[in-house]
Amino acid sequence: MTEPLRPLFHFTAPRGWLNDPNGLIFHQGFWHLFYQHNPKGTDWGNMTWGHARSTDLLHWEHLPLALEPYGKGTIFSGSAVLDERGAAGCGKRALLLFYTFAGKPFDQRMAFSNDAGQTFQQLAWNPVLPNIEGENRDPRVFWHAGAAHWCMALYVRRGTSDGIEFYTAPRLTAWSFSSRIEGFYECPECFELEGSWVLFGADGEYVLGQFDGMAFHPEGERLKLDYGMNFYAAQTWSHVPENRRVLIAWMRGGSYPGMPFNQQLTFPTDITLREISGQKRLCRQPIPEISLLWRESWQVTETALVPGCGLTGLWEGEAFDVEATLILEPGAQLVLTVRGSTIHYDAAREQLSCFGRTASMPLPEDKHLKLRVLCDRTSIEVFGGEGEIAFSNCFLPDTAHRTVALAASDGGVYVNTLSVRLIRA
């Protein structure tokens, strides 16, 4: 094993540094993933767009670098769209990349491809949006059908105030200011989902509302998309058939000592909108394609957990997909241990916790608690309930800890179903 810390089923660069996912787009049967990348070292810097594509979101073909530093600037984050009608003047069905040119000053630029993303050319009349004020970066471009024009969500700091500004353009190359919403930092994401619009920044705190093509109108409070230590700069794929919405994020802050690469992305999740305890919430669940990676599977059904005993060390491996539906009595204390790390649910407090982070998660009236845990060599992702609670965490497990265990310290836990699936590359 030459790279013992290379994740088995999470995306990493072949070599060098990786951070924000960029330009996510489904095009001609491929899921395209661009990403912030330093191909010359394992530290942040020399920002370049790496590029990979996949037919299943699991197995990735690494392609040549898409955008490299030029002039006196590097290539910061952005997005991709398919210009079906050739509005930008680069040809019908051109693949367009919008990015921040990190020069002096920063501005927003565009590159295009007419060969399905194999190569990209810079637009001759860049920038498409000159420097605005202070920090301005990370353009997220999308089409608004109701307003019949293109929109750009852009992080802009005015003075000491962080916010997302919206710009519009009929032809993608000349953008006009339309509105601003305060309090969001970096890497904006904005999309429509099941009749509502979603807006969030790099930290994943999102708000639901309506977007009329000019301004975002929030409805309700901001909510967390992830409670873990290592979730940042999430983005979703555009142009996906059947309005499927798939999200991936940078697992910021992981450690990979001695490896030729640095950092990883989360496992892709499907995003849905559900009513949880009378409130609309975004829910995330691992994409169903993960079943293609299952190599062995063990099931436990209709079993009461005995205090001080539990289900201990029955399953061994490096990477797992664990899924459970449990029936808990009030006051029950559940502990799921995966490779030495514990996920704890306190039924009395109705709290789910792991890696020192805690989230409120009410126990349903029928007392059925759902948990899903994805464990890879260097990460554990936890999904609670319908996926309204999620924790994305990086870790470096002791190599001696290779098992999954389930216990209830005081009883009151009944296993309805438990599936432990071993994952191999």
* Dihedral angle sign, alpha carbons of residues 51, 70, 174, 232: positive
Q: Which residue has the tokens 């798939």?
A: 246
Residue at 263: amino acid letter: Q
CB 160 within 8 A of CB 100: no
Q: How many CB atoms lie within 10 A of CB 402?
A: 16
Q: How far apart are CA 111 and CA 126, in angstroms?
A: 9
Closest CA to 77 of 154, 16, 129, 142: 154
Q: Which amino acid is at 72?
A: K
Measured CA to CA in angstroms, residue 402 lies from 11, 314, 391 at distances of 22, 10, 21
Q: Three-state SS for 200?
A: strand
Token pair, residue 213, equals 């093509």
* 20 classed as catalytic: yes
Place of tokens 């009513």: 275
405: tokens are 């265990």
Rounded CA-CA distance 158/199 in Å is 19
* Residue 62 near residue 73 (C-beta atoms within 8 A): no
Q: Would you state the structure tokens that stand for residue 103, as one six-digit string? A: 């020069």
Q: How far is 8 from 153, CA to CA, in rounded Å? A: 34
Q: How do strand 223-224 and strand 205-211 relate by DSSP bridges?
A: antiparallel
The per-residue DSSP string of 349-409 comes to: TTEEEETTEEEE-PPPTT-EEEEEEEEETTEEEEEETTTTEEEEEE----TT--EEEEEET
- 273 CA to centre of own chain: 16
Helix (H, G, I), strand (E, B) or coil at 288: helix
- Point out the residues that are catalytic: 20
